[in-house]
Amino acid sequence: MARPLRLWHCCRVPPTPPDQLAVPQLHRAARFEDAVHGLVERRLRRTGWQPNIIAYAGYGAPGWARVLCRVLLGRPDTRRRGRLDKVRGWRSFATLPAKHVKVTIEVDGVRQEVTADRSGFVDTVIEADFTPGWGCVRLSVADAEPVEALVRVLDPAVRFGILSDIDDTVMVTALPRPLLAAWNTFVLDEHARTAVPGMAVLYERLATAHPGAPVFYLSTGAWNVAPTLTRFLSRHLYPAGPLLLTDWGPTADRWFRSGREHKRATLARLSREFPEVRWLLIGDDGQHDPEIYREFAAAHPDHVAGVAIRQLSPTQSVLAGSLPAPAGRSSSGPIGQKWLSAPDGAGLWKLLREADLV
């Protein structure tokens, strides 16, 4: 007999982010965005557009899972495909959320209904029986075909995990230089993006050396590009893993979300959800990864196995607005963790082996 599927509540909920202060009124940018969306939505619905679900890979452990998806308005043919087309970057942002739509989550024949937020997102934790490995949940909205969302379920015996940045760590992006970032994000076709040399091989070797170790991809990028990033990672043979991205556009209390706070909050959440896992944190020196990882390592020393920083080339460093760093170094972090730095995956692999992290 299937166990009831239900949202976590009371003391049964797994660790969650700290409570946030209630915002009495939406930011004026958010109110303007909602007004525009409401006007466009009414017109599109009159022409036959209806909600469709874009499913994202979630994660969890036996007994619970974090389910992620977004509900967008689309034409009937788009709804049947259940995903976004392979298009230039700007079209990924030219979407209209279906706000406050009821979404049904189904696992083993048991259903639970949740409500999408004002941006069409569903980010919720459910309780159900899951087997370690890759599982799936079924998602549906009224009058649309259901879609399946993958869930990476960690084995309770797992003690090592890999958490990686995306921009300039696995994919050459040249962030955060505004004009280059805009060109790479909005203009280039997804097949024009290039992978960082050796990183896919590095991740595959790490996954092989630590059977069952999860791979999470944490980025300040918007959920709008999640389908594109998923195809990029698959095309370049990176290990499959959940994407942990952020929303695009105004929030309830500001013009845009803070990318650094998103990373800090996600790291803290993972440390609470998987207290026995020690993470190898992988990033680059072109943005704020070293600073964020150093803060997390100081606050959660037992949750960090090591930090591997991919060094940008002199040209990439200049484009990213930072100074080139000296090549190939290995040192101890603030609480004794291994801190490694190299310009590519091959160099990091060598240092990781010398540091006994593989």
The arithmetic mean of pLDDT across residues 87-108, rounded, is: 74
In Å, how far are 11, 36, 50, 267, 321 from 175, measured between CA atoms? 41, 30, 35, 21, 8
> 237 with 204: CB under 8 angstroms?
yes
Distance CA 230, CA 122 (A): 19
* 206 pLDDT higher than 60: yes
Total-model pTM: 0.79
Q: How confident is the model at residue 208 (pLDDT cuts 50, 70, 90)?
A: very high
> 105 with 55: CB under 8 angstroms?
no
Q: Express each pLDDT in 312-355 by its tens digit.
A: 875 655 555 554 444 445 455 554 568 999 999 999 999 999 99
**pLDDT value for 81:** 47
Structural tokens at position 344: 């590519």
CATH architecture of 27-153: Sandwich (2.60)
**pLDDT value for 12:** 40
Where is mean pLDDT largest: 27-41, 113-127, 174-188, 302-316?
113-127
Three-state helix/strand/coil letters over the chain:
CCCCCEECCHHHCCCCCCCCCCCCCCCHHHHHHHHHHHHHHHHHHHCCCEEEEEEEEEEEECEEEEEEEEEEEECHHHHHHCCCCCCCHHHHHCCCECCCCEEEEEECCEEEEEECCCCCEEEEEEEECCCCEEEEEEEECCCCCCEEEEEEECCCCCCEEEEECCECCCECCCCCCHHHHHHHHHHCCHHHCCECCCHHHHHHHHHHHCCCCCEEEEEEEEHHHHHHHHHHHHHCCCCCCCEEEECCCCCCCCCCCCHHHHHHHHHHHHHHHCCCCEEEEEEECCCCHHHHHHHHHHHCHHHEEEEEEECCCHHHHHHCCCCCCCCCEEEECCCCCEEEEECCHHHHHHHHHHCCCC
CATH code 3.40.50.1000 for 160-354: yes
The region of weakest confidence among 34-38, 51-55, 121-125 is 34-38
Distance CA 70, CA 196 (A): 29
The region of weakest confidence among 35-49, 106-120, 277-291, 322-336 is 322-336
**pLDDT value for 203:** 97
Beta-bridge mates of residue 304? 279
> 124 with 142: CB under 8 angstroms?
no
* 80 pLDDT higher than 60: no
The region of weakest confidence among 182-196, 215-229, 253-267 is 182-196
Which amino acid type is present at position 297? A
CA nearest 288: which of 258, 247, 243? 258
CA 57 and chain centroid, separation: 9
The region of weakest confidence among 63-67, 218-222, 319-323, 350-354 is 319-323
Q: Which residues contact 343 (CB under 8 A, 6 or more apart)?
A: 310, 311, 312, 313, 327, 328
Q: How confident is the model at residue 10 (pLDDT cuts 50, 70, 90)?
A: very low
**pLDDT value for 287:** 73
> 67 with 126: CB under 8 angstroms?
yes
* 165 pLDDT higher than 80: yes
Which amino acid type is present at position 312? L
**pLDDT value for 13:** 43
Q: Where do the domains of the chain lie?
A: 27-153, 160-354
Distance CA 358, CA 206 (A): 7
The region of weakest confidence among 45-54, 113-122, 265-274 is 45-54
**pLDDT value for 20:** 40
**pLDDT value for 88:** 47
**pLDDT value for 50:** 82
**pLDDT value for 33:** 52
Structural tokens at position 354: 């010398």
Q: Express each pLDDT in 147-161 by its tens digit.
A: 999 999 999 999 999
* 40 pLDDT higher than 80: no
What percentage of the chain reaches a pLDDT higher than 90?
Answer: 50
What is the residue-averaged pLDDT of the chain? Answer: 79
* 262 pLDDT higher than 70: yes
**pLDDT value for 139:** 97
> 354 with 330: CB under 8 angstroms?
yes
Q: How confident is the model at residue 301 (pLDDT cuts 50, 70, 90)?
A: very high
Distance CA 222, CA 166 (A): 12
Distance CA 185, CA 221 (A): 10
**pLDDT value for 243:** 97
Structural tokens at position 71: 């509900």
Token match 């040399």: residue?
Answer: 197
Higher per-residue confidence, 75 vs 339:
339
